[in-house]
Structure 1
Amino acid sequence: MQASKLTAVSLAVAVALTMSACGKKDDTAADQAGASGAAADGGSAVVKLGFVAPLTGPQAHYGAEYKNGVTLAIEDANASHPTLGGKPVKFELESMDDQADPKTATEVAQKLIDEKVSGVIGHFNSGTSIPASKLYSDAGIPQIAMATAPAFTSQGFKTTFRSMTSDTQQGSVMGEYVVKKLGAKNIAIIDDRTAYGQGLADEFSKAVEGAGGKVIKREYTTDKSTDFAAILTAIKGMHPDIVYYGGADAQSAPMAKQMKRLGLNAPLVSGEMTKTPDFLKVAGKEAEGTLASLAGLPLEQMPKGKDYASRYQARFKEDVATYSPYGYDATRVMIAAMQKADSADPAKYLPVLASIDYTDAVTTPHLGYDSKGDLKIGGITVYKVVGGKWTVLESVGGAAASAAK
């Protein structure tokens, strides 16, 4: 009886050791593939990529379209049967909702770090990307964010990269444009006090004055407000040539309607968060004449814009709005850096990402970053609402010049 027990125990120990050895073998395979936090999945190691954006609340439409681009990029990458370290891998998305809230952003960032993601696409807002970036930097995890505020890449973190041109260029180009091209001299500015809205308005203001224009009024609201009667009434009495707004379409659309109802007939000018289908829907006929800047080229002028638009529509049954091509490119360039480094270990592929010249992007002929993580090729496009549609007025800067070569 005792011998039987010993035999059983010996057998159990042998099985346990065998199982342990198998487990170590699987872990080694994942390590060789370079998959941070990878797990076995049908013979492939899983490489987790984090994604963060507002997926609920008034900015959810931005996050949803952004996520679509990232999703399509991962599906395309997996369809090519990728390998790392000679082993097959599968890329999977760990999606988080930060609700455009800085506190929530740091909480979900820590969750992604704890889940050992190999990289992060996002966050969407500057106000969420900036506080989260410190956590990713401390963890050594590369982050490619939609954030456009200059402060995002001026922190000195080696892990921060942008998907779009910064507000320094976008605001400055638009400020000069309204003075020199539109002939505006007296300009009123409103911003929503977010890192994005205020940063964009600040750069715009500096450029206006540098071009010879005058900022006759600077007003502030919040990214939760929808009633701007008091602000607009005060501005109306100063007879501005244009009204500039730094913020999102949840505010700029009702602002456009209220401007017309108050008889404030100066054009509304804004940034890329206003250049959306939602702005047109909410503002209705009062959207007419509104101008907005958007980083990069118009979709139809992007190197692979037409093909992307067709594949996006087929996959998601809707047209491209604004942000998804940039989410797509951010994901593909991160994966390309992993493949070039032959590893998903952030410490190994981060230097490759920092120096990459990616020539298979949708949005630009050459996607690469400077020493701060800003895009080497920038430029913006100016749009105007004509006949209820966003219409291209002019493309200005590096992206347009590069595409023309």
Structure 2
Amino acid sequence: MKVAIASFLVPYFFLSSFAQAELIVAVVAPLKSPDYASVGAQMRAGAEQAIEDINAVRKANGRDLLVLQMLDDECNTERGMTLANQIANQGFPLIVGHFCSWVSVPAGDIYSKDSILQIVPFSSMPSGSSTTTLFRLTGTLANQASTFVTWLDAKIQADGLTSDVVDVAIVADQTPHALELADQVLLQLRTVGIDRPETITDDPRRFNIVKKDPAEIAKLANDVVGWGPEVVFFAGYHPEISALTRVVKTNLPNARVFISDANVTTPFVDGTLGLPSNPPTFVFPANPIPPQCSGPSIPAQCNVVAKISARLGGGVRVEPAALFTFGAIELWAQAEEMAGPWKVDQALNQTAQFSTQALGQVGFQNGDTKDQQFYFYTWTSSNLNAHAP
């Protein structure tokens, strides 16, 4: 396997040294970010394993080999846009990434202008980021909001309550992902009648994370706790969401706390250790990691998980980020066999279903995955487990 690693800038002479019979797959991840490096490590492991597995088959069949180019955007917008411009100049057939939506959105605009295919492996990016060259492996923010709002509406009715006696707090940072998700939650709450303009004092209350300063986060946490909501929905990224969750769960142990999909990572979970026995609930797409890999019927993903686990080493848990990244490259490779490297977008949209090792059955419609559903999970016993809040 050939794996080229670049931390930030990608010199042209470096890339031009690859043989003509090789196709370069770029994976852009936060490899050195202090807050998100663990996500980058998962993406790297998934990508490296995918390239190794796929190249073994391609070599046997005499086909062009794939070369992995790992790029580090550090979840920094300026770095990400610089990388995107360099990638656009090189004409890569596939970009997998980015992780942080505030980087993915402007970078995606650059890829789109140059008709470069981008697969976002596991982020429910803002709807405004949709382009003809962008493919998502998870549902939209509207679907994520719907999962939460549907549960809340059903819970209120099942308990024989009215919305005016259930206080709901929505907390969002200033990322495009969080702002749109919070807007969608509020819009859908109003649609089902939980948010009623005529009863302003009983409306769900929105709290905004304006600054990432620890003192500001502490003040905001105290404001949420002081209001005393029964239900809290956090939209945004750790470490701020992690700190807020810890304070709210400690001081409001009976509150139902829901966390958006961007926080299903080890740093978030480690940052909230010591919580009461009532853990927060994650809203996340179908978890590709099987609950167990033993018994008479072993899921196909188990083989992928085992190989990625060995690659990570040191007892590091395999997280969904690794399998989504593996699956993104796996899907591209299958579509490339059908249509060649420069018409993969057509094959992805026109093929009803792809059968993958990492993600099972996957299909697309206009770049969006056909499986738009989100589910509830808790992180217990070092695993993401299905949960009924």
> TM-score scaled to structure 2, two decimals?
0.80
Matched, 1:367 2:362: yes
Does residue 56 in structure 1 map to residue 13 in structure 2? no
Q: Which moved more, 1:70-79 or 1:308-317?
A: 308-317
Query: C-alpha offsets along residues 261-296 of structure 1, whole Å, 9 cap, x if unaligned?
Result: 555752321112223332222211126421111112
C-alpha deviation, 1:333, in angstroms: 0.8
Task: Give the match for residue 150 of structure 2.
Answer: 176
The Cα shift of 1:260 comes to 4.4
Shift in alpha-carbon separation, 1:326–1:225, aligned structure 2, 3 A = farther
User: Structure 1 320/394 Cα, relative in aligned 2: closer, same or farther at 3 Å?
Assistant: farther
Contact 1:186 1:213 in 2 (8 A): no
Choose 138-147 or 297-306, whichever is displaced more. Answer: 297-306
Structural mapping, 1:316-327, within 5 Å = 316-317=312-313, 318-327=316-325
Paired with 1:152 and 1:129, the residues of 2 have a C-alpha distance of 11
Which residue of 45, 53, 68 maps to 2:21? Answer: 45
Counterpart of 2:233 in 1: which secondary structure? strand
1: CA distance between counterparts of 2:153 and 2:211? 27
User: Residue 223 and residue 247 in structure 1: after superposition, are their counterparts in 2 closer, same or farther (change >3 A)?
Assistant: farther
Give the share of equivalent positions with the same residue, in percent: 21
Letter in structure 2 aligned against 1:366: Q
> Is the Cα–Cα contact under 8 Å of residues 191 and 246 in structure 1 kept in the other structure?
yes
Shift of 1:327: 0.9
Partner of 1:280: 269
TM-score by length of 1: 0.77
Alpha carbons 2:331, 2:354 under 8 Å: kept:
no
Distance 1:178 1:67 in 2: 37
**CA deviation digits over 1:122-175, x for unaligned, max 9?**
112222111111211121111101441232554xx3211112222111121122
Q: Does 1:289 align with 2:289?
A: no
Q: Distance in 1 between matches of 2:92 and 2:310?
A: 29
Distance 2:22 2:383 in 1: 43
Identify the match of residue 172 of structure 2 among 191, 199, 214: 191
Letter in 2 for 1:173: T
Residues 326-348 of structure 1: CA deviation (Å, up to 9, x unaligned)? 1111111111111112x32x2x3
Q: Which amino acid aligns with 1:217?
A: R
- Aligned pair 1:70/2:47, yes or no? yes
**8 Å contact kept, 1:149–1:200:** no
DSSP-derived class of the 1:366 partner: strand
- The structure-2 alpha-carbon separation of the partners of 1:130 and 1:260, relative to structure 1 and needing over 3 Å to count, comes to closer
Counterparts of 2:364 and 2:23 in 1: how far apart (Å)?
Answer: 24
Does 2:227 match 1:231?
no
Question: How far is 1:349 from its partner?
Answer: 3.1
Q: Note the 1:93-104 alignment, pairs <5 A.
A: 93-104=68-79
Amino acid at match of 2:65: K
User: CA 1:303/1:150 → structure 2, altered by over 3 Å: closer, same or farther?
Assistant: farther
CA RMSD of aligned residues (A): 2.8
Structure 1 residues 387 and 56: CA distance shift in structure 2, 3 A: closer
* Contact 2:249/2:257 (<8 A) preserved: no
Verify the 8 A CA contact 1:194 1:223 in the aligned structure 2.
no
In structure 2, the CA distance between the partners of 1:104 and 1:190, relative to structure 1 (3 Å rule), is same
1:137 alignment partner, one of 112, 115, 140: 112
| Structure 1 residue 54, shift from structure 2 partner | 1.6
Contact 1:191 1:245 in 2 (8 A): yes
Question: Could you tell me which residue of structure 1 aligns to residue 64 of structure 2?
Answer: 89
Among 260, 264, 267, the residue aligned to 1:271: 260
Say whether 1:309 aligns with 2:284.
no
Read off the aligned partner of 2:151 and give its amino acid letter. Y
Q: Does 1:213 align with 2:194?
A: yes
**SS in structure 2 of the partner of residue 284 of structure 1:** coil
Residue number in structure 1 paired with 2:57: 80
Which among 51, 74, 89 is matched to residue 114 of structure 1?
89
Distance 1:280 1:210, change over 3 A: same
The aligned counterpart of 1:33 is: none
Q: 1:255 aligns with which of 229, 236, 244?
A: 244
1:165 lines up with 2:106 in the alignment: no
Segment of structure 1 superposing worse, 302-311 or 163-172: 302-311
Mapped partners of 1:310, 1:253: distance in 2: 29
Q: CA, structure 1 residues 91+389, in 2 after alignment: closer, same or farther (shift >3 Å)?
A: closer
Kindly provide the amino acid, as one letter, of the partner of residue 189 in structure 2: V
Gap runs ≥5 in structure 2: 1-14, 196-202, 292-297
| Aligned residue identity for 1:377 | D
Residue-by-residue CA offset, 1:73-111 (whole Å, 9 max, x unaligned): 11111111348xx95311111221112122221110111
- Give the whole-Å Cα distance in 1 for the aligned partners of 2:347 and 2:17: 24
- Encode CA deviations 1:362-382: one digit per residue, 9 max, x unaligned: 4544312112x1101221220
Q: Tell me, what secondary structure is at the counterpart of 1:286?
A: coil
> What amino acid does structure 1 have at the position aligned with 2:43?
Y
Give the whole-Å Cα distance in 2 for the aligned partners of 1:261 and 1:392.
23
SS in 2 for 1:47: strand
- The one-letter code of the counterpart of 2:227 is M
- Computing the radius of gyration from Cα coordinates, the structure with the larger value is 1
